[in-house]
Every structure is written in structure tokens, then in C-alpha cells.
Structure 1
Amino acid sequence: MHMIFRILLTYLRSKKASKLSMFDTGSLPMRATLTDIDFAGHINNGMYFSIFDLGRFDLMFRSGVWDVIRKNKWTPVVQAETITCRKSVKLGAKFTQETRVLGLDEKCIYFEQRIVCDGEIYAQGYIATRMRGRKGAVSNEEIMQAVGLAVPEDRVVPEWVSQWREASALPGARKPAPHTWLGR
């Protein structure tokens, strides 16, 4: 529940922050709070994904893309995500959450996101997202047309990221995905 308030705070702060293009890098200054840490006294892997949500929302708010999403009654959803952690962010530590669009393919918009403390990467994640509308998935072509942007040439999804998303994908929502671990 606390993330709802942080998203609202991020939205309010975005009104005073400098405007960005969706293809700029967003930087969100933060501090590790009591609601971010686990019993080991540091931000855990699950909370990083929630913090990454804030970074993507900040980028959408500051670039004006959120207004287009709401106008079209679309909903951004995560299709796949992965993270690598290398150092712990402890309670009270200041850090920035950095977000950039890595690129697009025929299905997803990919984000690269980082937790940075004192100029060092502490954690890095890759998130494959989609946009959902009333009739299902919204094509990236339709999204780019609606926001009035073209993908810069330097935004090419690395092959390993495409392979990771394909290899980790579950069947589509309209196909069965039976759970058989417990012999049910």
C-alpha cells in the first residue's frame, strides 16, 4: 500500500521537475526507508522491483506519456523482469533510481533500470513491458504514433535481452498454463 503514496508523491514532484523525452534517462533521488528494508537491514530484491516501478512512472509523468496512456485508457503492465544485485542499500542510505528505455521489439518496450549509490551501480534490472487496452495488447507502433515519437537509432534491444524474454515467457493469457507441481 505504501507504494501508492510514493507513486502519488512521484507524480506531484514530477510537476515541478524538468521535462524529459521518453528516450531521456530519468533520475529519481531516494532514501531507503523502513518500509523498503527486510530483516537483513537492506533493500531486498522484491522491493527493488517496486522502486523500479516508481522510476518508470516518473519517466512517463515527466515525458507526458502518462497523459497519452490515460487518454487512450491504456494500462502499462510488466511482461518479464530480471535483476542483478551487487551491493546492499542499507536503511537511511541515499541513492538514485535511474531509468531509461533500452529499446523496443515487436511486442515489448524494454527498460534498463539501476540503483546507484555514490556513483556506483548497486543493482540493475531489465524490464519488458506492454501496454494493454480494452481490446488487449496495444502495438508498439500505435503507442509511438500516439506519443508522437520515433525510436532513436541507438535504442536497439540487445540479443541476449530478447532471448531472455522469449526463454522466460509463459503461454499467453488465453492459452492454458497448467500447474502440476503438487500433482493436482
Structure 2
Amino acid sequence: MHMIFRLWLMLLKARRRPQLDLFGVGSLPMRALLTDIDIAGHINNGMYFSIFDLGRFDLMVRAGSWDAMRRKRWTPVVQAETITFRKSVVFNQRFSVETRIAGMDERSIYFEQRIVADGEVYASALICTRLLGRQGPVSNEEILAELGVEVPAGLDLPEWATRWRESTALPGARKPAPHSWAAGLRR
């Protein structure tokens, strides 16, 4: 993450902010910095995912799951993500990163995240995540047991998200994923 100083600052501040329920909504106030914007004067499309990282960490710290993850030496990783843009966030504009768990499947935890300014959604994303331990991926059952939480009734992953994940998934890291574009490229 190239936003390491912002991450450290957020981690320090998150411990002093009100606690959250893991299945609640986290809201992280921010401002678009010079390092966030591109030549067009708005937040660069790639920066949104780094900003969303901060929102997920804020939720995990404030919900108490970050300490449990660190104790177990679990590392969060993103498996897939999709984003939709509506409006541009410009330099120095205040906004918030809104984060919640959208649902779970048999392997992954999905976060819905939004960039909100002046009460309006500017961008919305769905991020598919996993936790990795020393022995590999950690099951959702083990995560929930360690955190001492249950999935709330009605927290069902939207059908479109399931279809999206199935249609975009790459083979697992232990399976081959050959690349074949090179044979068809013009030189």
C-alpha cells in the first residue's frame, strides 16, 4: 500500500473513535489530497481502491477484529473488486468512506464500500476478501469463531455479486493459469 503514512495515522485515530459492530457501517471522514488526484484534478481511479483499504481497516480496528487478526497472524487479501463511478471527487474536497460487510459465501467476505460527499454517492465498490494464515486461507467459520460473532439474519450476498465472482474468478494459485495473448499479438 503506497498510503502507508495515512494508514498509520488512521490506525492511531481509529482506536480513539467509537467502537463499531463488525456488521455495522463504518464511516471514515477524509479529504482529497494532492497525492490522490491525477492530471484531470480529481481522485485517480486507481486511488479509490487504496482509499477503500483505509475504510476496511478502520472498520476492522473499531470492531475489534484487527487485534484478533494480528494475534492469529492472519493477513487480509483482496481476491476481486469492482467499482462504479458516478461523480468526481476533486482536490481538497471532503468526503467519507462508508464501509459495511455486504455478505459472505463459503470462502470469502464481501465488503460494500462507497465514497460519499454532501450526502451523495460518488463511487461504489464491492470487494471480495479472504484472510490468509500460516497454513493458507482461513475459513469463514474459523474467523467467526475467533471473533465470537454470528452472521446477522438477512445478510445475504446479492445474487449479482455471486454471478460476478463466478464469472470473473481466476484459477487458484496452485492451478495453472497459462497466458496466451502473446501468440496473437502483432509486432
TM bucket normalised to smaller: over 0.9
Q: Secondary structure at the match of 2:34?
A: coil
Secondary structure, aligned partner of 1:56:
helix
Q: Distance in 2 between matches of 1:151 and 1:129?
A: 16
Residues in 2 aligned to 1:173 and 1:77: alpha-carbon distance in whole angstroms: 13
**What is the identity, as a one-letter code, of the residue corresponding to 2:56?**
R
Q: Verify: 1:121 aligned to 2:121, yes or no.
A: yes
- State the distance in 2 between where 1:2 and 1:151 align: 33
SS of the counterpart of 1:154? coil
**Equivalent AA in structure 2 for residue 101 of structure 1:** I
SS class of match (2:78): strand
**Aligned residue in 1 for 2:51:** 51
| 2:96 equivalent in structure 1 | 96
Deviation per CA, 1:32-66: give whole Å up to 9, x if none.
Answer: 00110011110122100000000000001111100
1:127-179 Cα deviation digits (max 9, x unpaired): 00001111111100000000000000121101110110111110000001111
Q: Does 1:148 align with 2:126?
A: no
Aligned length: 184
- 1:30 alignment partner in structure 2: 30
Name the CA distance, whole Å, in 1 between partners of 2:90 and 2:121.
14
2:56 aligns to what SS in structure 1?
Answer: helix
Instruction: State how far apart, in whole Å, the 1-side matches of 2:73 and 2:183 are.
Output: 40
Question: Unpaired runs of 5+ in structure 2?
Answer: none
Query: What CA distance in whole angstroms lies between the structure 2 residues aligned with 1:163 and 1:134?
Result: 30
Could you tell me how far apart the structure 2 residues matched to 1:173 and 1:22 are? 29
Paired AA for residue 42 in structure 1: H
Structure 2: distance between partners of 1:177 and 1:15 = 42
C-alpha displacement of 1:92: 0.5
The equivalent of 1:83 in structure 2 is 83
Shift of 1:77: 0.3
TM-score between the two structures when normalised by the length of structure 2? 0.96
Identity of aligned residues (%): 63
What are the ranges of 5 or more consecutive residues in structure 1 without an aligned counterpart?
Answer: none
Separation (CA, whole Å) in 2 of partners of 1:140 and 1:45: 30
Deviation at 1:2, TM superposition (A): 4.6
**Structure 1 residues 182 and 77: alpha-carbon distance in aligned structure 2, compared to 1, 3 A threshold:** same
